[in-house]
Structure formats: structure tokens, C-alpha cells
Structure 1
């Protein structure tokens, strides 16, 4: 059985059939267990997450009822499904492997992509990872405290993957497509400098220099107005390279090793940390 949290909460059987988990509190229980990624959650914590200050008269019994409903839903979908919801002192847990959850698959694919040298392989892995997303992480429970931090971190990882993907595609010479495709993402995340830099490079390489400069100017204004800061040195260098029509800006490669132009690469604190990325789900669970 597989589980999805990269968008609305979803459950699928091994053959891909959708599994209906009835009742809001039962779905919230499942989401809470997925947030904790195989770690036991006490009954008191689950009751507080599900009902907050409006606890039922007998929260322990009511929680046990919700657990039974979840077990029945999973068992009805696939024999043995009820055993996925277990109890191990001090609490309940969901017994699933990381790759049975789309978030776990996403982390694995992005870690593999960052370890790859070949730009085409990186782009393919990142495209596969990004295709797992069906909306914001844990979107059904965006207002619930138990999911908020995990959702925020996963959404941040998605944006980083989107930036990595754009840079890999720039290395492959796909600037014409990127110049338009990145527009909505930049508009939705106007302060993301790596994303903006990829768009500016794509626009310039596509022969749209005025639009590239306008995009940079927009970022500079937003940073000044909202944060009172200037663009990073890397973006300033990119801006001046465009003004000078630096030939290095057109460097692209369709071969294995990643090509570099003569400008500093955008900073990325996650490069070279594939092992740490593979532990992201455990860190999210620990922070919950």
C-alpha cells in the first residue's frame, strides 16, 4: 500500500487503486502518523492534535474508535492493511517503509539527482521527483499544528528541487522552454534568488535581454521594499554580465559533466549533502 502527502492526503493499493479513508478525524489521524514517519505517537499527543481544546468526553476511547476505523479502511482495501497501524509503547505508529510514501520517494530521487554528475540524468531524476507533487504538502491539514512544520519543510525542498531542475535544464540548453515555464514559479516565489537567476539566464539565452534585465530589476525592487537588502553578489554579477553581453552566459552542455560559465554559481547549502537529504523524513518526524 502506498501513501501520498505531497498534495491532498491519498492512499493507493499496490495495484494503484485509490483507497477511501472516511471521516475527517480518521484522515487527520492517518496524516498525523505519516508526519511522524514510523515513530510512535502517544494517545495524548494524537488526541490533542485531533481535537485540541475541544476534547471529547472520553478521548482515549474516542481515539481508539478512530484507530479502528482507519484499520478497517486499510484492511478493506488490501488484506493485511490493518496491521500497518500498530501500537508500540508509548503510542500508535504507521508501519510503512519510506518509499511507500511519496515524500520518501521524493527525498530519495532528489538525493540521487544531487549525487549525479551528468546533467541529463539530474534533470530526469528531478523531473520524476517533481512529478510526484499534486499540490502543497499536507494541503488538507495546512491549518493543523501537527502538520504545519513538516509541510513547510517539504514545500521548501520542492522549491530547491525546482531550482536544481532549472539549472540542470539550462546546462542542457533548454533555455527557450525555461524562459516561459519559470514565469509562474517566479511570480509565486518572488524572493527566491536562485529561481530568479535561472529565469534571468534563460531569458537572456533565449534572446530576450530586456526581459531578463526587467526580471532582475523587479527582484531588486522587491528586496529593497520588503527586506531592505540588495540582491546577492552572484545576481549582481549576473546582471553586469548581461549588460556586458558576456559570451560565457551562453555556455551550455548536452554532455555528461556539468558546464560552468565564468560567473559564480548560485549558492546552494544542500549541494554535497545527499546523505543528509536521505534523512529528511526522519528529521521532519523529530521536529513534529
Structure 2
């Protein structure tokens, strides 16, 4: 919840936070004093429950403002302000707005909605009896939006990053078939057909053991399509981050984009929108950002799965929002994870992502046809490209 100045309301005492959570659960409807006392103290009420509750109400009024917590017989209610005063209301508003938006704007709106989440709904009271149902409902709504955002990104050709981001989500929600379907498609398009098939087999085994059912007909059809490499799934596996039937230069907005994308309205980045907010990495992000300000090359190292790509994308996103001129020609992501060719393929991978032409072939680099890295110099001559 936010105050009139746009700052998060800070409520320090645990019983007062519980009172706020209880009133929020009821969305402005009155809650009886007896119900509040039972929710806050359970089987161990204080000696004078009515006075104890009144004391907590007074503390909450000092934190929120007296008018926000109104007495309405037989108890109290929270007098809610504009929609974006409560994160849950803002979340629903952004999701509703995304329904009528174009693909790019839709991803941005869904990402903003998901960015409002900094933990489970109702925080430490998510498992309390008074909040459990509401917290579960909001968690389900959030997960549905995660799936929707992932589907939208997949349609835009963002399958390479999605494969990593979806792995943890699928592990936490192994029986959600919609989430699994996005993962299967992303893995297939990233050239990881065997992993897609293994993921389907793992789901089928889980469903049989835990529920005694088979995967849905829709997921079974997707499995068959992956087995036969059905063209309807999109580009051939591992062909890169462009959407089916799209010009990769138009998708990324690179310097070689088609003529209808003029210099003033051309995007300056192909960075993907993340599924979730980056939490607990601020120190590392600040360090990478400082290094980028003074170094031509910054390398992130570490074991697989620790979040190197996510940290790099977050740092690149921050760099793309830096003052004009620091990266005048934009910040671009070149995906190399699915490539198995000679190291000299890297230069052509960069130029393909940027849509650069000249003496460098416009098509995607193929195995066994390396290109000398010196050929990269001329196309990248303009300063300010990261």
C-alpha cells in the first residue's frame, strides 16, 4: 500500500501489520471487531480485547492517516483511495490494459504488472487463516500473468532467454501444462529438441504418478509436432531469436531494419522483458554498471544456472536508460548459447543481430562457414554501440 506522496506505507509492529493485512483482504468492506480480535490473537486474546484492538487501530491510523481506517458498526473498514494506491489494484489495472495493447506494449504492461510483486501477497501473513484464500487467489493470478507474458515473448521470438527463465518456474510448478507448453516451444526453437522431449516425458510421468491422468490433448499434439519438427512450430530449431515469418532486423530494430522503420522511431535495443523482477542482486548490478562505465569489455563468470545472463541483461537495461550519448546507437543482446560453430562465427552472429550489411553476409552464420573477425570493424565503426 502507498501513501499520498507515492511512498510505501511503513508499519512496524506485527499486530498492526496483521490488522492492515486483514482489512486489505476485505477490500474496503467492514470487518467486525470480534472477527479482527480472533484473527489477530486467536486462542490467546489479551485481557481486554476491545481496548487492545482499539490500540492497534490507533497505531494503524497514525501510519496511514486517521481517515483511512473508518469505524463502521460492528467494526472497521479500510477506506481505499485510487486504484494504484494498493499494489493488487494496480496489478489488475495493468493486466486489463494489456488486453487491448499491441504485442510490444502488451509485454511491457505485463512486465510492469509483475514487477509490482516483491514477494508473496500479504507477506508474512500469507498463511494466516484470514489471508490464506486471498493470498492463494492472487498467487494464481500472478502465475497466469507470468504464463501470458511468456507466451507473448515467445511469439515475439524471445525463446532463447525464456528457456533459462522458465526452468525455475517449471521446477516450482511442475504440473502447470500451460507453463510447460511455453517451455517446450522455447526449448524446441532454441535448438534443444531433446530437452523439450525430456521435459514432456517428465510431465507425463508426474501426471501419471500423482494424478493418474495423461497430459492434455493440446500438449500431446504439441509433443507430436516437436517429434516430427512440424513447420507450424516456427523457424527450424536453433535458427535464432526471430519470430516465425518475421524479418529479424525489424524485430530487433537494428541498423539494417527495413526502410519503413525510420531513424527516429526505430527501437534502440532488442533486450527482452524479464518474467520477474531481479531481487537481491543490487550490489552485483551496481558493480557491473560501474565497470561498464570505464571498460570496453566486462565478462561475467560463474557456474551454470547462477543467473549470469539475467544479471547481464539487467545491467544492459540499466545502461540503455543512461543519459543520451553514452550509448547513442543502443544496447543489443547477441545470443550465442545455442551456437556450436567455430569462434569466428561470433562476428557474423553480431552483425546478424544488428542487421548490418556491406561486405558481411546478411544471412545467419552457418556451421563450417566461418568469417574472419576483422570483417566486423567497418560495420561497427560508429561510436556509442554496446
TM-score range relative to shorter protein: 0.7 to 0.9
Q: CA deviation at 1:73?
A: 2.4
1:177 alignment partner, one of 132, 149, 161: 161
Q: Is it true that 1:163 corresponds to 2:147 in the alignment?
A: yes
Structure 2 CA distance for aligned equivalents of residues 201 and 217 of structure 1: 14
Other-structure match for 1:26: 16
Other-structure match for 1:13: 3
Note if contact 2:3-2:85 (Cα within 8 Å) is conserved in structure 1. Answer: no
Q: Which has the larger radius of gyration?
A: 2
Other-structure match for 2:88: 103
Structure 1 CA distance for aligned equivalents of residues 85 and 130 of structure 2: 21
1:245 alignment partner, one of 199, 212, 229: 229
Structure 2 CA distance for aligned equivalents of residues 70 and 54 of structure 1: 21
Structure 1 CA distance for aligned equivalents of residues 193 and 147 of structure 2: 21
1:214 alignment partner, one of 198, 220, 225: 198
1:143 alignment partner, one of 98, 103, 127: 127
Structure 2 CA distance for aligned equivalents of residues 151 and 19 of structure 1: 20
Structure 2 CA distance for aligned equivalents of residues 20 and 99 of structure 1: 17
Structure 1 CA distance for aligned equivalents of residues 164 and 63 of structure 2: 44
2:172 alignment partner, one of 180, 188, 192: 188
Structure 2 CA distance for aligned equivalents of residues 118 and 246 of structure 1: 27
2:44 alignment partner, one of 35, 41, 54: 54
Structure 2 CA distance for aligned equivalents of residues 117 and 21 of structure 1: 37
Q: CA deviation at 1:13?
A: 3.5
Other-structure match for 2:208: 224
RMSD: 1.7
Other-structure match for 2:26: 36
Other-structure match for 2:104: 120
Deviation by residue 1:31-51 (Cα, 9 ceiling, x = unmatched): 101111111111011111111
Q: CA deviation at 1:143?
A: 2.7
Deviation by residue 1:153-208 (Cα, 9 ceiling, x = unmatched): 00000110000001101111111111111111111100110000000000101111
Structure 2 CA distance for aligned equivalents of residues 18 and 161 of structure 1: 24
Other-structure match for 1:280: none
Q: CA deviation at 1:14?
A: 3.6
Deviation by residue 1:109-134 (Cα, 9 ceiling, x = unmatched): 11222x22522222111111100000
SS at structure 1 position matched to 2:131: helix
Q: TM-score with structure 1 length normalisation? A: 0.79
Q: Which has the larger helix fraction?
A: 1
Other-structure match for 1:269: none
Other-structure match for 2:59: 69
Structure 1 stretches of 4+ moved >6 Å: none
Structure 2 CA distance for aligned equivalents of residues 133 and 91 of structure 1: 30
Structure 1 CA distance for aligned equivalents of residues 7 and 122 of structure 2: 20
**What are structure 2's unaligned runs of at least 5 residues?**
236-242, 248-386
Sort the Cα spacing of 1:99 and 1:67 in 2 relative to 1 into closer, same or farther, 3 A.
same
Structure 1 CA distance for aligned equivalents of residues 123 and 10 of structure 2: 17
